[in-house]
A and B are shown apart, each in its own frame.
Chain A
Amino acid sequence: MARDLAIDLGTANTLVYMKGKGIVLNEPSVIALNRQTGEVLATGREAWQMIGRTPGYIVAVRPLRGGAITDFEITERMIRLLLQRVGVSRFTRPKVVICVPSAITEVERRAVTDAARRAGAADAQLIEQPMAAAIGADLPIDEPVGNMVIDIGGGTSETAVISLGGIVALEAVRVGSFDIDASIQAYVRREHGIAIGERTAEEVKVAIGSAAVTDDESQAEVRGRDLMTGLPKTVVLTPEEIRFAIDDVVSSIIASVVRCLAKAPPELAQDFLVRGMYLVGGGGLLRGLAQRIEKETQVPVRMSNMPLEAVVMGAGHCIEHYDALKGMFMGARR
């Protein structure tokens, strides 16, 4: 008998929680394929290391973009391999709860559940990421008080107001930390005339990226290919430059938080001033982001204790209490 599973199928990373055991898998959502035969060559961490460094016949791709499945077949193969790695076989078919962006379309919803069922799940249910994040961030969502959670992932940013176990207000944008990386890539190409890969852009973001001025600022040396000469070239980037480069993306995330605040009923809105908003998701780790949101909304912002695991922990809790919480699943409310 297979143990039931909760999956956070993120644009950047996929985490799997096994009922009664905890998190059993945490890997990048990347798959490497042989372009000619279509054979899977690697998944997860191993495939991630290949991004931008593969010979012509290998392609390392992220099958999810902006929280949506861009390639149904590849996603299905990735889910099947993930389930195999955690012990699911033809004879052991578990129930699976999958976290998805709240703005997912009906077609995408069906694509995810079909992919999970074909990959070996006996039953596949979906739960909105901000709801799972709020459960995983240990917010008192069972009480009649306003809990606000901002989940910034690789491809989507979602803000939700939750009270009494349900979503009261929700705002989502298909913008996330990969868009920050893309902005850095575009800026370096435009202003310094060099091309850098997405992994390098991500490293720059982690090293010196910030949404507001911070105390520990330093510069970063970046190596890429000169667009004019085609030769390798090194440039030095400053935190101010990166703040300028990513400002559009950061502003778009903050604007969605403001829209969500505006949608909240006044009785709950007053709670935020005391309790604050909680930031989860890897994108929330961007330096100065909490301070910038706090400054622009005048509402305190707190970082969740486990921002990267909060979503899968919330879904894991739903799989542990499947019968009591099945009313929360996306299909159950329609």
Chain B
Amino acid sequence: MPWVLAAIVAVAIVVVVFLAKRGPHQEPGVVNFRKHIDALSPEARREVMDRVRPTRDDSSNTDHGTGG
């Protein structure tokens, strides 16, 4: 019996410590919106811009009209 009690107390302590460390709960909507906005930041976009710029310099002579 003391073993069981000790185990319950230990588990309770672990749960309390875990919850205390986890910080405030965030709504999934807030998390997703944050992710969405962060993915649109200039820093996030830098990679694509840097990747395309050299391509553009190479293909600057490919003009097939001004339509998009």
Contact = CB atoms under 8 A, between A and B. Distances in A.
A45 B63 CA distance: 10
A12 B65 contact: yes
Interface string A290-333: 00000000000000001111010100110011001101100000
A327 B52 contact: no
A176 B39 CA distance: 31
Given A140-B42, A325-B40, A23 B68 contact: no
Interface stretch (B1-9, B10-18, B19-27, B54-62): B54-62
B67 A23 contact: no
A283 B52 contact: no
Given A138-B49, A154-B67, A324 B35 contact: yes
A138 B45 contact: yes
Most buried by A among B37, B40, B56: B40
Residues of A in contact with B, size category: 35 or more
A178 B49 contact: no
Given A138-B42, A140-B42, A283 B37 contact: no
A177 B67 contact: yes
Interface string A235-253: 0000000000000000000
B45 A21 contact: no
Contacts, number: 116
A205 interface: yes
A152 B56 contact: no
Contacts of B38: 142, 324
B67 A176 contact: yes
Nearest to B50: A22
Interface string A128-148: 000000011010111000000
Contacts of B63: 206
Contacts of A317: 44-45, 48
A10 B66 CA distance: 11
A13 B59 CA distance: 14
Nearest to B45: A317
B64 A28 contact: yes
Contact of A282 (B44, B45, B68): B68
14 contacts: A11-B68, A23-B52, A23-B55, A28-B65, A153-B68, A164-B37, A178-B67, A181-B65, A206-B65, A306-B56, A316-B51, A317-B44, A317-B48, A324-B36
